[in-house]
Structure 1
Amino acid sequence: MSRAPFTTLMAAAIACTLTTPFAAWAQTDTPPRPAPPTVDTPTSSDLDAELFYQLLLGELQLRENDPGAAFSLLHDAAQRTQRPELYRRAVEIALQSRAGNAALSAVRDWVRAHPDQEEPHRYELQILLALNRPADIGTPLRHLIRLAPADRRNDVIAAIPQTVARTEDKSATLKALQEALKPALADPHTAAAAWVTLGRLQLANGAPGEALRSAQQALARQPHSPTGAALALELVEREQPGAHAAFQAFLQTPPEASGRARLPLHLTFVRLLLDQRRWADATQELDRLRRSTPPPPEVWLLQGLLDGLQHRPQAAEAALQRYLELAQAQPAEDNRPGRTQALLQLAQMAEQRQDYAAANAWLDQIDPGDDILAVQLRRATVLARQGQLDRARALLRHPPARNDAELRRQWLAEAQLLRDVGQPTLAYAVYTEAAARFPDDADLAYERAMAAEKTGRHDEMEAQLRALIARQPDFHHAYNALGYALADRNERLPEAKALIQKALAAAPNDPFILDSLGWVEFRLGHHAEALRVLRDAYQRRPDAEIAAHLGEVHWAAGQHEAALAIWREGLRLNPDNPTLRQTLQRLQVTP
């Protein structure tokens, strides 16, 4: 019998569905409509009359809405001929009819028939993810890594965290992937990428300490690895002890070794140091960046932000203007976010010295559409400082929000404005309005409770936080806020300590929760323990409020010079901090 190409015969005989993406099968409740045929074109065929009839009958059964019979016919044909395109077709029919276990059975037969082809392993991985069986994904992933070309293997490994990001059982996922990555971890060419991937999976599984050890292993094998440094940097952001040193070690490698990724990582590191108020470390890194050739313009932006945070307005303004000058020589799209940030900072400093015309002049230079709500908030603050609060609030609500996300942002901006200009009662009303519209928004509920505390509604604050805890037991900020409020009022101290300890169990390195714990220890009369905890908190995050508490414990212990020194540091950090100001006034101290 003469033979014809498989595609030619089937395309002539069949005009029905062939494929539906597995993701659509996994996510829809409605059977997909048939799609046009899409069959591979092999150079030869084993298509005899019997096989032709079997395939034709299978496709007709599918067209007659009997996918089970169609699958059986195609699956049997695939097993008899071992043809990859028939295995693929059987799998796709099962997926189209949402018969996940049948699809998995067929794809595993395909894997056994063609273990060195990438496609069946990829299908198996996708089906296992769609079936939510993360414990079984290790085997196909290990084969996909093995089969990838050497020059793409690290890319395949790096893509794993995103591939498995939606699995529900993170622990099972991590266990399966630890096994899958063992060969890659032992291979010098893939070890760094594999350790980074393992670290990201550990981080997703809530194990930052293990993630740091994986980042250190990656950097030990490839000290200039940008991906290893990026993982360490993410842990710096989470204030994981040891992450700062790991990233610093990356910065000690020759700049050319890590390529173009080094500069954005270094700049992000400085931003994190600014967020964490680590002024000395930030200054050191900016000096290092200034010594590079040529120094990037962003150095002056970050220097301006640092000077502003340290209340050196003249130096900050000079640095920000220098950045704007240098940024003009760069493509506009490359520096728009930085330019907007510089102009907003300059406007804020002008507002603080009550030069409202200059503030508006800086805001006028921001390109339309660049973070419009931040610009509107700055303009609204200028109006409010001039006694035009109603106009300021109207500005933040114009134009009207187009969707819930914009409406939420507008409410948050308005509440922030009211807090900033000393209107806590009005801010509480805005939060109440927003919480009524978004009753399931935990962050809004928390902010509303904090606003209630600022207005003296202590019972309301407690009731709202307890409701939030009941609804979302893992919202550790609520435990900390309630515990600190009780400690600050010197009420129900054992209960306050228990609440704070529960928050600390969820975030053991959070300096503000440590501050709360130190404060409740002080209220309980445990001065030595309070000093230990507050020193730890202040070392992790130099902050004016923590300085207020640490100084008061020193003062109560008769260590007046130590107290004065800490308070002076706190005033340099933030001379307007209300907790520090109230502490000094209550103790009648002038540092």
Structure 2
Amino acid sequence: MSGNLPAMSRLFLSACLTAMLGACASAPAPEAPAVPVAEAEPAAPPERAIPAESLYPLLLGEFALRRREYGTALELYTQQASLLRDRGVSAHTTHIAQFMQQERAARESAALWVELEPDNVEANNTYATLLSRVGRTNEALPHLAMVARDQGKANFPILLNRFPELDSEQQRELVDGLEALSAEFPDNPSLLLTRALAYDELQQHQQALDVLARLFDKEPYQYQGLLLEAKLLLEQDRDAPFAHIEEALAANPDDSRLRLQYARLLTRSDIDAARGQFEILSARSPEDGNLLFSLALINHEIGDNLAAKAYLNQLIELGQRSDEAHYYLGRIAEDADDLQAAVEAYMKVSEADSGDFYSAKGRIARILLENGEEDQARALFVNLRQAHPEARERLYALEAEVLSGVGDNDAAMAVLNEALSTLPESSSLRYSRSLLGEKQGNLTLMESDLRAIIAREPDNATALNALGYSLANRTQRYEEARELIERALILEPDEPAILDSMGWVLYRQGNYEDALFYLERAYRAFPDPEVAAHLGEVLWVSGRAEQARAIWGDALLKDPEHEILLSTIQRFDISMLQSAP
């Protein structure tokens, strides 16, 4: 849009200069909306004189556009749009606001534009798009319907952009609106696709498949419909879930976009077939680094490390995704127990702003420590902090994490003490030290560090929860613990870790019924073994032993070595532990 603004300025300025001699026509609508629609021949707007008091602000706005002072231009045009209530000015204001990504201003000016010109396709389309972005989908629907009536095409799927965030009543209202509109447009592919997507969101899978069947009658190989159908069939464990996609690819083998999505879907169920599809794609685009990287990971996963290494080295030669390639070459070498080659590959991961950088350096340090080379591991981190001073905080935390991971908690504590002497305001390092302090049984240090964080950041829900849980779990200061957890829960009411803490402190206070309410919510949101341990314990002491066994059994299948889970089961049900996998 930026390239068009000067042209718009010239058009409007010319019109306004004409007004200085007599009358000025309303500004022409400048450019196409974000979602294109077919252009229609606009009706010539009636000429009318611009009030003298508005002429100067409009000229100022145009000159501001020429100088690229878009904020000033938007402010002036917004004021004049409201005063003049002119459709051309409203349209111009909408486009400037869209260009500046000022969504609220764009919505307000688009609303005025639609009010002034209710049959304008561009105005309705633009306003519907802007409403959908903020979840006002039921307001957007009639404007898209107007577009469909005029042009035959409307981008109905934009109505689902914020669908999961709507409450159940709003979701039902939107689906009802879509169904009502389908009586008017029974064969509209965009509307059919939208209805199928909405049914999928509501977990009404058969309804979604039924609507897709009608969509395919009109467009047999509609891209989004094909992907949705395959997803639904996979979820229902149907036979041949990809048959329709395969038919589409047979009809159009050069459809790389569909083939790529097909390959990604196959990674969930048939890794060998996925590799075959990625190989077809890569053969057609041999220098596409993303395809080469996918092939490397797939071959590594199925154990063909020779092929994986070949693809990774090809990436390095092309200069694409080099850090990731070196990291996975290191992982392959480490798995093969070629530690020297692994370290050499990890050392070549050089971009400090990537996650692979820290993973690679942590693996080097672990290799060194596990081979008794503590001094070299220490020197590694000293050198890294000197080379990357901006990353000191994260590198200190990584060093402590690696040391604790190999069982050297005293050395990890020494690193964190050094780090905090250098970076005393670091909440993340202080939090790490508090966790390590609790692990070592130093509850005084743990509490001191967490309270220091809370003093500086009273709304730090993580610190509030950590202190509350530790007090509930390691002391009898239950009221104090509950107060801290309640504060955290107000800040993050749906966070599973905080729900678990609330359930645990209520259990420690003897309130089993309320404890179960919170623990069950936590487990539904995050079925972690520690949450399972807590939920199972409360179920057990509440006399619901079979439910406790079921929860513990599921958790054991996921993590048979989880320390807290095992210790809980040992306290309550030795026989179950003995029969666990």
Provide the TM-score with structure 1 as the length reference. Answer: 0.59
1:375 aligned onto 2:360: yes
* Paired positions, count: 474
Contact 2:90–2:113 under 8 Å retained in 1: yes
1:320 aligned onto 2:338: no
The 1-side partners of 2:431 and 2:208 are apart by 34
The residue number in structure 2 matching 1:574 is none
1:535 aligned onto 2:553: yes
Pick closer, same or farther for the CA change 1:333–1:508 going to 2, 3 Å: farther
Pick closer, same or farther for the CA change 1:415–1:289 going to 2, 3 Å: same
Contact 1:446–1:478 under 8 Å retained in 2: no
The residue number in structure 1 matching 2:122 is 119
Contact 1:111–1:120 under 8 Å retained in 2: yes
- Mapping of 1:452-463 within 5 angstroms? 452-457=437-442, 460=447, 461-463=466-468
Give the Å deviation of 1:378: 2.5
The residue number in structure 2 matching 1:504 is 520
Give the Å deviation of 1:186: 5.2
The residue number in structure 1 matching 2:84 is 74
Contact 1:418–1:427 under 8 Å retained in 2: yes
Contact 1:418–1:426 under 8 Å retained in 2: yes
The 1-side partners of 2:440 and 2:360 are apart by 28
The residue number in structure 2 matching 1:474 is 493
1:528 counterpart SS class: helix
Q: Percent sequence identity over matched residues?
A: 15
Contact 1:122–1:144 under 8 Å retained in 2: yes
Pick closer, same or farther for the CA change 1:543–1:477 going to 2, 3 Å: farther
Contact 1:346–1:359 under 8 Å retained in 2: yes
Contact 1:74–1:90 under 8 Å retained in 2: no
1:387 to 369, 374, 381: 374
2:189 counterpart SS class: coil
1:466-502 deviations in Å (ceiling 9; x for gaps):
5465233425332466479889xxx838558855642
Give the Å deviation of 1:103: 4.0
The residue number in structure 1 matching 2:142 is 139
Query: Any stretches of 5+ residues in structure 1 without a counterpart?
Result: 22-40, 79-83, 203-208, 236-241, 274-283, 307-315, 568-591
2:521 counterpart letter in structure 1: A
Pick closer, same or farther for the CA change 1:424–1:94 going to 2, 3 Å: closer
2:382 counterpart letter in structure 1: A
Pick closer, same or farther for the CA change 1:265–1:168 going to 2, 3 Å: closer
Larger RCO, structures 1/2 (Cα 8 Å, 6+ apart): 1
1:178 aligned onto 2:172: no
- Mapping of 1:188-587 within 5 angstroms? 189-190=189-190, 193-195=193-195, 197-198=197-198, 210=203, 227=224, 244-245=235-236, 250-251=241-242, 253-255=244-246, 257=248, 259-261=255-257, 264-265=260-261, 285-289=270-274, 294=279, 298=294, 301-302=297-298, 304-305=300-301, 316=303, 319-328=304-313, 332=318, 336=322, 339-349=325-335, 353=337, 356-364=339-347, 366=349, 371-385=356-370, 386-388=373-375, 389-400=377-388, 402=390, 409-410=394-395, 413-424=398-409, 430=416, 437=425, 451-457=436-442, 460=447, 461-463=466-468, 467=484, 470-471=487-488, 472-474=491-493, 476-479=495-498, 482=501, 492=508, 494=510, 498-499=514-515, 501-506=517-522, 508=524, 510-512=526-528, 513-514=531-532, 516-522=534-540, 526-537=544-555, 541=558, 544-545=561-562, 549=566, 556=573, 558=575, 563-564=578-579, 566-567=580-581
Pick closer, same or farther for the CA change 1:219–1:339 going to 2, 3 Å: farther
1:257 counterpart SS class: helix
Contact 1:198–1:214 under 8 Å retained in 2: no
Query: Any stretches of 5+ residues in structure 2 without a counterpart?
Result: 1-10, 31-40, 61-74, 250-254, 283-291, 448-465, 471-480
2:441 counterpart SS class: coil
Pick closer, same or farther for the CA change 1:255–1:430 going to 2, 3 Å: farther
- The alignment's C-alpha RMSD in Å is 5.8
Pick closer, same or farther for the CA change 1:548–1:131 going to 2, 3 Å: closer
2:536 counterpart letter in structure 1: G
